[in-house]
Amino acid sequence: MKEKLFTEEEFMDEDLQNDPDEEIDNNLLMAYDIAVFYNTYNLSALMKWWGKKLVIPDFQRAYVWNIKKASEFVDSMLRGLPVPSMFFYDDTENNRLLVIDGQQRLRSLYNFVVEQTFAGKKFKLTGNIHPRWKGRTYSELEDDDKDRLDDALMNITVMRQLAPDDGQSAMYLAFQRINTGGITLRAQEIRMAVSYGELAKRLYELSKDSRFDKWKFLRTKDQKTNENFAPIQELILKFWTYYFQYPNFTGSSTRSMLDDFFDTYRELDKPKKRKQGVKYYSWEQLKDVFDATFDIVNNLPLESISPFSKPTQTFLEAVWIGLTYRKLKLHKEINVCTLQAYISKWKEFIGEPEFSRLFQARRTSSVTSAFERIKAGIEYFAGDF
């Protein structure tokens, strides 16, 4: 079967920009018990904490400021102009502060003060800069200018949820409504910050696997340009969550289901506190499940994961999990020679109305809808082909 060629516009999943899974589902909770601290730290303290007590998670959006914008922010600091406050999450379990909002500003200052380079070259202030320090590096500043910059106070909001004991729902709600450079944080970016741990690090690295490049519909053009891998991370997280939780899907939405799984396994099989009745997985176990049928699914032509006019993530999830379940749970071989033809007969097998109900409707945050799609995939790929 000849693979259909899709245009860039056809690749773009219209739901990527307005995903119902991004919506907060716990609106019945009107109030939280939250510890919020409003602190001021001088710049030299923040620079000393960098990478130790103060952490910018690897998975955060790529550094996108150009040297002119970074220079003008440093210039504002040198002039003593007011700058926006930053938002940190108090990760008390690991005795560190995670930067949620403010990484572009902090990275600019770190590049200028500590590394003294920008894009591999000396970081010399450029743009609309005061003549006293225009064109200078940090080491070339006058001593009193260095002191003024080092002693400059930064306003920091630090937040920690105390109750209810339901994971970090307040963190998600607060961070979801933080606006960073005009871009709202998405659910997966919030998860990666609030539940930062070994799983987040591993997931971040796995999401950069070049094999995902084939599935262009997973990310928007801006996400690719900014090296934002959050949509790929969420696809992998859904794969693991749905596979390991099946058939016991729980939660008020798929978002909360993913939140719970990610928070539970944040340190994989070495959690600081074990939950009763929970089977903890090692990275090797998660990776083995990921690898079981990934290449088989990835080598399918795009029209095989296009239930209608274009490839969709919901159909991809059902195919991937169905085949993995067949191989690892049912211990059945997968005939790759007949697989493509078998997928194409799915609609005919269950009937067009049922197929459309499962896969054509706009994807929702309903756990029931997700369960029905995954159940259909598992049952269909259990057949003979």
Structural domain includes residue 3: no
255, 203: one domain = yes
pLDDT, one tens digit per residue, over 338-358 is 999 999 999 999 999 999 999
pLDDT, one tens digit per residue, over 132-187 is 999 999 999 999 999 999 999 999 999 877 766 655 565 666 666 665 544 566 78
220, 271: one domain = yes
70, 149: one domain = yes
DSSP 8-state symbol, 100: E
358, 241: one domain = yes
Outline where 196-253 has alpha helix (H).
198-207, 221-225, 230-245
How large is the average pLDDT for residues 200-214? 96
374, 229: one domain = yes
225, 268: one domain = yes
14, 37: one domain = no
12, 95: one domain = no
14, 48: one domain = no
Structural domain includes residue 178: no
13, 69: one domain = no
Say what the pLDDT of residue 16 is: 43
Report the percent of the chain where pLDDT is more than 90. 64
Angle CA 219–294–252, to nearest 5: 60
144, 217: one domain = no
The Cα diameter of the chain in Å comes to: 78
**288: confidence class by pLDDT, cuts 50, 70, 90:** very high
What total of structural domains would you count in the chain? Answer: 2
Structural domain includes residue 77: yes
**Is residue 309 a contact partner of residue 297, using CB atoms and an 8 Å limit?**
no
CA dist 55 and 88 (Å) reads 9
Range of the domain at 291: 8-22+192-380
- Pair of tokens at residue 172: 């998600």
- Point out the domain boundary residue: 143, 163, 183: 163
Closest CA to 233 of 245, 221, 218: 218
137, 209: one domain = no
Reported for 5-10, long-range contacts at CB under 8 A and 24+ positions apart, including other chains, are: 6/216, 6/302, 6/310, 6/311, 8/216, 8/221, 10/309, 10/310
